[in-house]
Protein backbone atom coordinates (compact mmCIF):
# COMPACT_ATOMS: atom_id res chain seq x y z
CA UNK A 1 0.00 0.00 0.00
CA UNK A 2 1.37 3.40 -0.95
CA UNK A 3 1.78 5.93 1.86
CA UNK A 4 -0.57 8.87 2.12
CA UNK A 5 -2.19 10.97 4.77
CA UNK A 6 -5.46 9.51 5.93
CA UNK A 7 -8.44 10.50 3.80
CA UNK A 8 -11.38 11.47 5.98
CA UNK A 9 -14.41 9.26 5.23
CA UNK A 10 -18.03 10.44 5.05
CA UNK A 11 -19.77 10.57 8.41
CA UNK A 12 -23.44 9.89 9.00
CA UNK A 13 -24.37 10.77 12.56
CA UNK A 14 -28.12 10.42 12.18
CA UNK A 15 -30.49 7.85 10.68
CA UNK A 16 -31.02 8.70 7.02
CA UNK A 17 -34.53 9.18 5.65
CA UNK A 18 -35.30 7.42 2.37
CA UNK A 19 -36.31 9.75 -0.46
CA UNK A 20 -39.72 8.82 -1.87
CA UNK A 21 -40.66 11.93 -3.87
CA UNK A 22 -39.93 13.25 -7.37
CA UNK A 23 -36.76 15.20 -8.23
CA UNK A 24 -38.77 18.42 -8.50
CA UNK A 25 -39.57 18.17 -4.78
CA UNK A 26 -35.92 18.56 -3.74
CA UNK A 27 -35.16 21.67 -1.72
CA UNK A 28 -32.02 23.73 -2.18
CA UNK A 29 -30.56 22.16 0.98
CA UNK A 30 -30.87 18.39 1.48
CA UNK A 31 -29.50 16.56 4.52
CA UNK A 32 -29.63 13.12 6.18
CA UNK A 33 -31.26 11.55 3.12
CA UNK A 34 -30.93 8.16 1.43
CA UNK A 35 -31.60 7.88 -2.32
CA UNK A 36 -32.01 4.35 -3.72
CA UNK A 37 -32.59 3.48 -7.41
CA UNK A 38 -33.74 7.03 -8.13
CA UNK A 39 -33.68 8.36 -11.69
CA UNK A 40 -32.44 11.95 -11.91
CA UNK A 41 -31.40 11.67 -15.57
CA UNK A 42 -31.56 15.00 -17.43
CA UNK A 43 -32.79 16.73 -14.26
CA UNK A 44 -31.39 20.00 -12.98
CA UNK A 45 -29.96 19.82 -9.46
CA UNK A 46 -27.63 22.75 -10.04
CA UNK A 47 -26.71 24.92 -7.09
CA UNK A 48 -28.11 22.61 -4.42
CA UNK A 49 -26.35 21.62 -1.20
CA UNK A 50 -26.26 17.99 -0.05
CA UNK A 51 -25.10 17.09 3.45
CA UNK A 52 -24.94 13.54 4.84
CA UNK A 53 -26.52 11.79 1.85
CA UNK A 54 -26.25 8.38 0.22
CA UNK A 55 -27.04 7.64 -3.44
CA UNK A 56 -27.30 3.90 -4.16
CA UNK A 57 -27.92 2.60 -7.70
CA UNK A 58 -29.14 5.98 -8.94
CA UNK A 59 -29.15 7.30 -12.51
CA UNK A 60 -27.93 10.85 -13.08
CA UNK A 61 -27.29 10.51 -16.81
CA UNK A 62 -27.06 13.93 -18.43
CA UNK A 63 -28.11 15.64 -15.20
CA UNK A 64 -27.06 19.20 -14.37
CA UNK A 65 -25.19 19.16 -11.04
CA UNK A 66 -23.02 22.19 -11.67
CA UNK A 67 -22.24 24.54 -8.77
CA UNK A 68 -23.49 21.85 -6.36
CA UNK A 69 -22.00 21.13 -2.93
CA UNK A 70 -21.67 17.62 -1.49
CA UNK A 71 -20.38 17.06 2.04
CA UNK A 72 -20.38 13.67 3.77
CA UNK A 73 -21.74 12.00 0.64
CA UNK A 74 -21.62 8.47 -0.73
CA UNK A 75 -22.34 7.29 -4.27
CA UNK A 76 -22.49 3.56 -4.97
CA UNK A 77 -23.21 1.97 -8.34
CA UNK A 78 -24.49 5.26 -9.77
CA UNK A 79 -24.34 6.39 -13.40
CA UNK A 80 -23.24 9.99 -14.02
CA UNK A 81 -22.52 9.57 -17.74
CA UNK A 82 -22.74 12.87 -19.58
CA UNK A 83 -23.61 14.77 -16.41
CA UNK A 84 -22.53 18.39 -15.95
CA UNK A 85 -20.85 18.67 -12.54
CA UNK A 86 -18.47 21.53 -13.20
CA UNK A 87 -17.51 23.99 -10.47
CA UNK A 88 -18.99 21.72 -7.81
CA UNK A 89 -17.49 20.97 -4.41
CA UNK A 90 -17.00 17.51 -2.91
CA UNK A 91 -15.89 17.12 0.71
CA UNK A 92 -15.57 13.75 2.47
CA UNK A 93 -17.19 11.94 -0.45
CA UNK A 94 -16.99 8.34 -1.69
CA UNK A 95 -17.62 7.17 -5.26
CA UNK A 96 -17.69 3.36 -5.45
CA UNK A 97 -18.53 1.29 -8.52
CA UNK A 98 -19.80 4.36 -10.37
CA UNK A 99 -19.81 5.18 -14.08
CA UNK A 100 -19.33 8.62 -15.55
CA UNK A 101 -18.46 8.42 -19.23
CA UNK A 102 -17.86 11.95 -20.46
CA UNK A 103 -18.88 13.55 -17.17
CA UNK A 104 -17.71 17.13 -16.66
CA UNK A 105 -16.09 18.00 -13.31
CA UNK A 106 -14.07 20.94 -14.66
CA UNK A 107 -13.03 23.59 -12.11
CA UNK A 108 -14.42 21.50 -9.27
CA UNK A 109 -12.95 21.20 -5.77
CA UNK A 110 -12.33 17.78 -4.19
CA UNK A 111 -11.13 17.30 -0.60
CA UNK A 112 -11.02 13.94 1.20
CA UNK A 113 -12.58 12.11 -1.74
CA UNK A 114 -12.21 8.47 -2.76
CA UNK A 115 -12.96 7.01 -6.19
CA UNK A 116 -12.97 3.19 -6.04
CA UNK A 117 -13.54 0.86 -8.99
CA UNK A 118 -15.13 3.62 -11.07
CA UNK A 119 -15.20 4.19 -14.83
CA UNK A 120 -14.74 7.85 -15.65
CA UNK A 121 -13.22 7.50 -19.11
CA UNK A 122 -13.57 10.63 -21.26
CA UNK A 123 -14.43 12.62 -18.09
CA UNK A 124 -13.21 16.19 -17.74
CA UNK A 125 -11.38 17.01 -14.49
CA UNK A 126 -9.44 19.93 -15.97
CA UNK A 127 -8.58 22.84 -13.66
CA UNK A 128 -9.83 20.92 -10.62
CA UNK A 129 -8.43 21.26 -7.11
CA UNK A 130 -7.61 17.78 -5.82
CA UNK A 131 -6.60 17.61 -2.15
CA UNK A 132 -6.35 14.26 -0.36
CA UNK A 133 -7.97 12.37 -3.23
CA UNK A 134 -7.68 8.65 -4.00
CA UNK A 135 -8.34 6.95 -7.33
CA UNK A 136 -8.17 3.16 -6.86
CA UNK A 137 -8.74 0.64 -9.66
CA UNK A 138 -10.40 3.28 -11.83
CA UNK A 139 -10.60 3.80 -15.58
CA UNK A 140 -9.63 7.36 -16.48
CA UNK A 141 -8.63 6.60 -20.06
CA UNK A 142 -9.05 9.51 -22.50
CA UNK A 143 -9.94 11.77 -19.58
CA UNK A 144 -8.75 15.35 -19.03
CA UNK A 145 -6.70 16.06 -15.89
CA UNK A 146 -5.00 19.15 -17.25
CA UNK A 147 -4.04 22.24 -15.27
CA UNK A 148 -5.15 20.73 -11.95
CA UNK A 149 -3.88 21.82 -8.54
CA UNK A 150 -2.87 18.66 -6.68
CA UNK A 151 -1.95 17.93 -3.09
CA UNK A 152 -1.76 14.45 -1.50
CA UNK A 153 -3.07 12.66 -4.59
CA UNK A 154 -2.98 8.85 -4.58
CA UNK A 155 -3.38 6.73 -7.71
CA UNK A 156 -3.60 2.95 -7.36
CA UNK A 157 -3.88 0.78 -10.48
CA UNK A 158 -5.50 3.53 -12.55
CA UNK A 159 -5.91 3.39 -16.33
CA UNK A 160 -4.65 6.75 -17.59
CA UNK A 161 -4.25 5.64 -21.21
CA UNK A 162 -4.42 8.69 -23.52
CA UNK A 163 -5.33 10.95 -20.58
CA UNK A 164 -4.51 14.65 -20.91
CA UNK A 165 -2.20 15.50 -18.00
CA UNK A 166 -0.84 18.71 -19.51
CA UNK A 167 0.02 21.38 -16.97
CA UNK A 168 -0.64 19.28 -13.84
CA UNK A 169 2.27 18.56 -11.51
CA UNK A 170 2.44 14.96 -10.29
CA UNK A 171 5.34 15.64 -7.95
CA UNK A 172 5.46 13.03 -5.15
CA UNK A 173 2.69 11.00 -6.84
CA UNK A 174 3.39 7.28 -7.38
CA UNK A 175 2.27 6.30 -10.89
CA UNK A 176 4.20 3.03 -11.00
CA UNK A 177 1.17 0.72 -11.25
CA UNK A 178 -0.87 2.94 -13.57
CA UNK A 179 -1.30 2.62 -17.34
CA UNK A 180 0.36 5.65 -18.95
CA UNK A 181 0.40 4.78 -22.65
CA UNK A 182 -0.38 7.76 -24.86
CA UNK A 183 -0.68 10.32 -22.06
CA UNK A 184 -0.56 13.97 -23.10
CA UNK A 185 2.30 15.93 -21.51
CA UNK A 186 4.31 19.04 -22.27
CA UNK A 187 7.35 18.62 -24.49
CA UNK A 188 9.78 18.66 -21.55
CA UNK A 189 7.63 16.26 -19.46
CA UNK A 190 7.74 18.66 -16.51
CA UNK A 191 4.40 17.30 -15.25
CA UNK A 192 6.24 14.14 -14.15
CA UNK A 193 9.15 15.79 -12.35
CA UNK A 194 9.32 14.33 -8.88
CA UNK A 195 6.80 11.59 -9.69
CA UNK A 196 7.50 7.86 -9.35
CA UNK A 197 7.14 5.72 -12.47
CA UNK A 198 8.06 2.14 -13.30
CA UNK A 199 11.07 1.16 -15.40
CA UNK A 200 8.68 0.28 -18.24
CA UNK A 201 7.16 3.75 -18.02
CA UNK A 202 10.62 5.33 -18.05
CA UNK A 203 11.51 3.47 -21.25
CA UNK A 204 8.20 4.51 -22.81
CA UNK A 205 8.77 8.15 -21.94
CA UNK A 206 12.32 8.10 -23.24
CA UNK A 207 11.14 6.66 -26.54
CA UNK A 208 8.59 9.48 -26.76
CA UNK A 209 11.58 11.85 -26.66
CA UNK A 210 13.28 10.03 -29.49
CA UNK A 211 15.73 8.20 -27.23
CA UNK A 212 16.28 4.54 -28.06
CA UNK A 213 16.15 2.12 -25.13
CA UNK A 214 17.63 -1.37 -25.33
The model's pLDDT over 169-187, given as tens digits with 9 standing for 90+, comes to 999 999 999 999 999 999 8
Provide, rounded to the nearest whole percent, the portion of the chain with pLDDT above 90: 84
Helix (H, G, I), strand (E, B) or coil at 192: helix
In a domain, 91, yes or no: yes
Which spans in the chain are helix H?
199-208
Say what the pLDDT of residue 213 is.
53
Domain that holds residue 34: 29-208
In a domain, 66, yes or no: yes
61, HSE (Cβ side, Cα atoms, 13 Å): 8
Say what the pLDDT of residue 200 is.
81
In a domain, 14, yes or no: no
For the stretch 1-39, pLDDT in tens is: 444 558 999 998 779 999 999 988 999 999 999 999 999
Say what the pLDDT of residue 5 is.
59
Provide, rounded to the nearest whole percent, the portion of the chain with pLDDT above 70: 93
In a domain, 204, yes or no: yes
State yes or no: pLDDT of 209 exceeds 70.
Answer: no
CATH of the domain at 58: 2.160.20.80
Distance CA 45, CA 48 (A): 6
In a domain, 18, yes or no: no
Say what the pLDDT of residue 129 is.
98
End-to-end CA distance of the chain: 31
- For residues 196-205, give the mean pLDDT: 81
Interacting residues of 200 by C-beta distance below 8 A, sequence separation 6+: none
Say what the pLDDT of residue 1 is.
41
Distance CA 115, CA 40 (A): 21
In a domain, 146, yes or no: yes
Query: How many domains in the chain?
Result: 1
In a domain, 121, yes or no: yes
Arithmetic mean of pLDDT over the chain? 93
Amino acid sequence: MKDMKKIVSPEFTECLTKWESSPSALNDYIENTFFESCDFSSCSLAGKEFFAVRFIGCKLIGADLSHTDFCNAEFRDCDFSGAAMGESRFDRTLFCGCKGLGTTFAEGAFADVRFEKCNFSYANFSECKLRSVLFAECDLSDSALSSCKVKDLLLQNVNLTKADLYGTSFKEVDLSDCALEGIVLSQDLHELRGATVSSAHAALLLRSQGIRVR
